[in-house]
Amino acid sequence: MSKKVHKIGVLTSGGDSPGMNAAIRAVVRTGLYHNMEVFGIMRGYQGMIDDDIVPMHSRSVANIIQRGGTILKTARSKDFYTPEGRKKAYDNLKKHGIDGLVVIGGDGSFRGAQKFSNEFDIPCIGLPGTIDKDIAGSDFTIGFDTAVNTAIEAIDKIRDTADAHDRLFIIEVMGRDAGYIALHSGIATGAEHILIPETKTDIEAVVDSLEEKERRKKLVNMIVVAEGDETGGANEVLSIIKKRLPHLDTRVCILGHIQRGGSPSCLDRLIASRLGYAAVDCLLEGKHNIMIGIMNNKLHFTALDKAVKAKQRISEEWMKIVKILAS
């Protein structure tokens, strides 16, 4: 049933993540290698609707593998939720002769792609691009490794000043639904407590443990909290601790958007290059409407409608390791 694909469009959609540029570069250069025409679609699905579509050449993606953000820009498109918006997008693709799409984004972008390809005869390939690492069907997502390394760098600096003043720091990292950035950065920086949405947070136990540490004069402590933890963010954690331990010198630091930017790590560049290359291969082979991930170091294909946000289980062992190592 699959037709041969000759002209492909690539877009980045939803939240940006470092490494998206490396993925765009891989899609463009692999497409050109196979004598395809490749188009860059600006600002995600909104660019499809507005006909903001530009031909891409090998030089268009020169000098971007090391850059964060996305040269194609990204957006959230309200219009794409409507059948009229998607029809307009389809008409614009047809106008350019685009017969295959590579969508780099999160699960929302995949839902859009799935809907679009159900309505029109445009095969779509999704590549997981999100700093949260919370997509079913992939051990990695483009951007996670960089974000977590940015968090580590910042938390290490905070520990220096915390140590100088004997302070307790509560550091909030990104992760509305997933605690992977908090878990990995917390373990890697020796945080005393890590609060994540995947596990039940016993804030009273955290306070008890801080009291116990105070008794043995351990005053420098770091709590890393994911923004989506059920206790709330760093400010909510602070207000609970302040009530019970008002005398502690406590500070809050919310890392915020620095976690999204910056030059992608080696791992993110490799993943993005591998997935971008594979996306074009899949379109050529007639594999349609799938997300390509990596599991156990092998490419792994998931139907777009199954490539949803997934709360991955955090192993009990990790939480035990955190407790033992940060005593």
109 assigned binding-site residue? yes
Tell me the helices (H) and strands (E) count for the chain, helix number first. 10, 11
Taking the C-alpha atoms of residue 13 and residue 250, their distance in angstroms, rounded to an integer, is 38
First to last CA, the chain: 60
66 assigned binding-site residue? no
228 assigned binding-site residue? no
**Catalytic positions, written as ranges:** 132
* Gyration radius of the chain's alpha carbons: 22
Shortest spacing between CB 128 and ligand ADP, in angstroms: 9
- Tell me the three state secondary structure of residue 224: strand
Q: How many CB atoms lie within 10 A of CB 314?
A: 17
For 240, the enclosing helix (H) or strand (E) is: helix 234-244
Residue nearest to ligand ADP (CB): 108
Q: 192 or 227, CB closer to ligand ADP?
A: 227
Shortest spacing between CB 31 and ligand ADP, in angstroms: 22
Instruction: Yes or no: say if 265 and 12 are a contact pair by the CB < 8 Å rule.
Output: no
Q: 78 or 95, CB closer to ligand ADP?
A: 78
Shortest spacing between CB 317 and ligand ADP, in angstroms: 30
Helix, strand, coil abundance in the chain, percent, nearest 5: 45, 20, 35
Q: 115 or 251, CB closer to ligand ADP?
A: 115
- Tell me the three state secondary structure of residue 98: coil
Shortest spacing between CB 306 and ligand ADP, in angstroms: 15
- Tell me the three state secondary structure of residue 258: helix
Residues in the chain, how many? 327
Q: 14 or 175, CB closer to ligand ADP?
A: 14
Shortest spacing between CB 202 and ligand ADP, in angstroms: 31
Q: Match 């899609």 to its residue by tokens.
A: 27
In three-state form (DSSP H/G/I as H, E/B as E, the rest C), the secondary structure along 56-92 is ECHHHHCCCCCCCCCCCCCCCCCHHHCHHHHHHHHHH
**C-alpha angle 284-287-291 in degrees, rounded to nearest 5:** 115
Residues that bind ligand ADP (CB under 6 A): 13-15, 45, 76-77, 80-81, 105-109, 111-112, 115, 130
Q: 46 or 189, CB closer to ligand ADP?
A: 46
Torsion of CA 151, 152, 156, 157, to 10 degrees: -40
Q: 15 or 68, CB closer to ligand ADP?
A: 15
Close Cβ partners of 112 (under 8 Å, ≥ 6 residues apart): 13, 45, 77, 80, 81, 103
79 assigned binding-site residue? no
Shortest spacing between CB 62 and ligand ADP, in angstroms: 27
Q: Are strands 168-173 and 100-105 parallel, antiparallel or unpaired?
A: unpaired
Q: Specify binding-site residues for substrate.
A: 130-132, 167, 174-176, 227, 251, 257-260
Q: Specify binding-site residues for ADP.
A: 25-29, 159, 190-192, 216, 218-220
Q: Specify binding-site residues for Mg(2+).
A: 107
Q: Specify binding-site residues for ATP.
A: 15, 76-77, 106-109
